[in-house]
A = this chain, B = another copy of it.
Amino acid sequence: MKKKQIEGYTYVDGGVCAAKGFVANGLNCGINPDKNKNDLGMIYSVTLCDAAAVYTQNKVKGAPVVVTKNNLEKSGAKAQAVIVNSKNANTCNANGIEVAEEVCKLTAAELKIQPEQVIVGSTGVIGQPMSVEPFAAAMADLAAGLSVEGHDAAATAIMTTDTVKKEVAVEFEIDGKTCRLGGMAKGSGMIHPNMATTLNFVTTDVAISGEMLQKALSEIVKVTYNCLSIDGDTSTNDMVSVMANGMAGNDKIVEEGKNYKIVKQALHMVMEYMTMMLAADGEGASKFLECSCDGAPDQETAIIVAKSVIRSPLVKCAMFGEDANCGRILCAIGYAEADVDVSKIELELASENDAITTYKDGFSIDFSEEKAAEILKEKELYIRIHLHQGEASAKAWGCDFTYDYVKINGDYRS
């Protein structure tokens, strides 16, 4: 899974602390009974940030999603800290909103900022009772331990069934000023983002207005996180937030133009790679899957087709079984809710270094089963669809369906 290389952008370490002025921390506060696992994370900017966020479209929303949305409305899209816990989603609890608001107040008091400048997130089991006590008890320690090295502890604190932490950051220039933008993400199951996604936090030292940040975020979410599907289940707690503290010292970006494009590209790179990391670490995954759809009449069609294939349980099982059962891919294209001329479809199965065409003009063609078997042995598989109906393209990401997905989700609560 290679990071996309683009001239003028360099990948750097540091995750959410890569950009100037951001510190973070994470620890175990007792929500997770396993004391070796962090369950509470904090990100803090030394100055107030412009902020933007997108949220789950699930009608059952986690209390933290509701409270964060309210906060950013109240603060005029300003934020200075993130507080986030794992192991309990604080969703469908009668006192959920109350708890999430109280957590913001505790955070704000400790950091000497306003409660509405706090972005709050939770992930874990839905419908479990939630109390403010573990937050209250840990808040002083959490804040005292904030540091630029703390991105690691924070990224660990949001893991649930994730097997690896997900961080990425890039460095680039705007008008001679060095800028950075980095993020952390969590997510492994219940992933089928719709307009928003799993928990993702992005920080940057670029100076940019909340309005332009929101515009860039909303556009990029559409072609990154929203093109990810692990299991077709859209979580109740999905959220992506971006905080920009302006400490890179560039002239504040307040409209579209060259500089807006530069930062939007950085956001795209970080979010696309985080999406790919989420796909590769899908619950129980043994293979990373990327499905591209080219030659579509418009981007919307390309997205719908690519996502339909990535979502299909039968395609996911075939990839797990290393079976070139491409009829299932055609089947998933056929039931995608898009205007596709099935008589023009071309299909290729590929690994990083090899490819084989299995369908042309909508019909299966003779191909070497031996070569297909070699390709399907690889850990990263690419399903390439060409619709031959236009110029638009899109990609979607996911993983195979394995025994372990069933195992993990058969006993998640316990």
Binding site for B on A (CB under 8 A): 57-61, 89, 91-94, 125-129, 189-190, 192, 194, 231-236, 311-314, 317-318, 320-323, 325-328, 330-335, 340, 342, 358-359, 361-364, 401-403, 405-414
Contacts and interface: CB of A to CB of B under 8 A. Distances in A.
Given A60-B342, A92-B327, A403-B406, 12 more contacts: A58-B334, A59-B334, A60-B334, A60-B335, A89-B327, A127-B326, A233-B332, A234-B331, A236-B330, A313-B405, A317-B408, A325-B412
Contact of A323 (B333, B401, B412): B412
A335 B195 CA distance: 12
13 contacts: A58-B331, A58-B334, A93-B364, A127-B359, A232-B312, A234-B335, A235-B331, A236-B331, A318-B409, A321-B412, A401-B409, A402-B406, A406-B406
A127 B330 contact: yes
B194 A335 contact: yes
A317 B190 CA distance: 12
Contacts of A326: 126-127
Contacts of A89: 327
A411 B325 CA distance: 9
Nearest to A345: B60
Contacts of A231: 313-314
Contacts of A233: 312-314, 328, 331-332, 335
Contacts of A413: 323, 325
B236 A334 contact: yes
A92 B59 contact: no
Contact of A327 (B127, B317, B322, B402): B127
Contacts of A313: 231-233, 313, 405, 409
Closest 5 CB pairs of A and B: A126-B327, A321-B410, A60-B334, A127-B364, A317-B409
A233 B236 CA distance: 24
Contacts of A94: 361, 363
Contact of A320 (B61, B314, B320, B406): B406
A255 to B, nearest CB: 36
Contacts of A126: 325-328, 330-331, 364
Given A318-B410, A409-B318, A335 B59 contact: yes
A149 B118 CA distance: 73
Contacts of A403: 403, 406-407
A291 B194 CA distance: 24
Nearest to A364: B127
Contact of A314 (B91, B128, B358, B409): B409
A293 to B, nearest CB: 14
Nearest to A403: B403
